[in-house]
Amino acid sequence: MSAEVRIVSIETIILDLPTIRPHTLSMVTMNRQSMTIVRLRCSDGIEGLGEGTTIGGLAYGPESPEGIKLTIDEYISPLLLGRDATRVQAAMDLVRKAVKGNHFSKCAVESALLDCQARRLDVPMSELLGGRRRDSLAIAWTLASGDTAKDIDEAQALLDQRRHKDFKLKIGAKSIEEDIGHVAAIRKALPDMASIRVDVNMAWREREAHKAIAALADAGCALVEQPVPGIAPLARLTRASSISIMADEVLIGPESALEAVTAHAADVFSIKIEQAGGLFAAAKVIAIAETAGISVYGGTMLEGPIGTIAAAQLMAGVKELPWGTEFFGPLLLTEEILEEPLLFKDFELKLPQGPGLGVMLNEDAISRFSRHGKPPSGLRVAG
Ligand code: MUC
Ligand code: MG
């Protein structure tokens, strides 16, 4: 590949998109999702896309859409402009040397570089990440309206549409008794073909978590995601639990994954490309989990379609996905920003077959929803 193909521009655009309903997690209720879209252009005319998206501004993780834009504009772009666009790993080595942390920003830029290179080679991005094992992925849905009856109606409608049959319930904002009642009521109301998991987003203390997990198991819940913060408490809960425990927030890249497998902190790892620090970093987390005999799951930061399809391109190559993925982020948004929407059908996301990410932005939607300096609104932080 010619070394004369250069990176000529890196554009960042913050989009603010409404959600179809309030989405309540233990730390925040979202009414909109904000995403920083990266558009990277090369001297051969090829363009690639990336996305940096968080949940609830700074409520969930250490980066915000505004911070991602600033990090890329002020620190990452100056490093990359004029560099060889065909050497993705070398470009990202430069970024890692000069920029500490900032995993979400790095992921967005790496995705755009990979999208370009895959388009240049005329292959789907999955082929640069080890190759596909499948063309579709099972997609769970999150019930998080904050109301049990509404959640039941929502789940039933999605089952009827054959869109989702695995449901993750967001708990931890209310008392444990209320949460257990909520889970038990939903489990009871839905048919056996539906599976129920919960995500506590670290809201419990270890002592109460032991009792709560036992009660969740009795209520028919199949898996508990990140009930407490920290690898050591998670490991103690995993040892004691009769149902599977999934790690999410503690997995912030390969080093943390090594610590987590050494402690046997969980039965399942939620792989998030942004939290891991990019697609290659997430691939390392997957390799560590697989080597240690821990199951792999495709997690989301509720990304829009660009981040979602980037994660899907990686997960399409994972050998076993016993818990599937939760790549439903685009379906939580009222607006479509792609030329051709992603295809969710028969409980699965069908991967595009085209080169790179396989998707294109709808330019009208991008200008309509781009923030253009408007102040953020629509977030309510819990507590
Ligand atoms: C998380 O913690 O897993 C994933 C689904 C959802 O509703 O929130 C995210 C974050
Ligand atoms: Mg989670």
Q: Which ligand is nearest to the CA of 224?
A: 2
Do 136 and 233 lie in one domain? The reply is: yes
Q: How many domains does the chain have?
A: 2
The verdict on 54 and 78 lying in the same domain is yes
Looking at the fold, whether 183 and 104 belong to one and the same domain comes out as: no
d(CA 344, CA 158): 11
User: Same domain, yes or no, for 320 and 188?
Assistant: yes
With respect to residue 269, please indicate whether it lies within any of the assigned structural domains: yes
- Ramachandran region, residue 313 (left: φ > 0; alpha: ψ -120 to 50; beta: rest): alpha
CATH number, domain at 85?
3.30.390.10
Write down the H helix ranges in the chain.
65-71, 77-80, 88-98, 103-121, 148-160, 176-189, 206-218, 231-240, 254-262, 273-276, 279-292, 305-315, 363-369
Ligand 1 lining (C-beta closer than 6 Å): 25, 55, 142, 144, 170, 199, 201, 248, 299-300, 302, 326
Whether residue 177 sits in one domain with residue 257: yes
Residue nearest to atom 10 of ligand 1 (CA): 301
Q: Which ligand 1 atom is at minimum distance from the Cα of 201?
A: 2
What is the domain-level CATH number for residue 181? 3.20.20.120
64 and 154 within one domain: no
Residue type, 117: Q
In-domain check, residue 41: yes
Is 170 an annotated catalytic residue? Answer: yes
In this structure, what DSSP letter does residue 238 have?
A: H
Give the predicted TM-score (pTM) of the model: 0.96
* Ligand in nearest proximity to the CA of 247: 2
Structure tokens at 132: 């596909």
**All residues at 6 or more sequence positions from 45 whose CB lies less than 8 Å from its CB, including other chains:** none
Q: Which atom of ligand 1 is nearest to the CA of 170?
A: 7
Residue span of the structural domain in which 36 resides: 7-123+363-371
Angle between helices 279-292 and 305-315 (to 10 degrees): 40
Nearest 10 degrees: Cα torsion 173, 174, 176, 178: -140
pLDDT by residue, tens only, the chain of 383 residues: 455 999 999 999 999 999 999 999 999 999 999 999 999 999 999 999 999 999 999 999 999 999 999 999 999 999 999 999 999 999 999 999 999 999 999 999 999 999 999 999 999 999 999 999 999 999 999 999 989 999 999 999 999 999 999 999 999 999 999 999 999 999 999 999 999 999 999 999 999 999 999 999 999 999 999 999 999 999 999 999 999 999 999 999 999 999 999 999 999 999 999 999 999 999 999 999 999 999 999 999 999 999 999 999 999 999 999 999 999 999 999 999 999 999 999 999 999 999 999 999 999 999 999 997 555 555 555 54
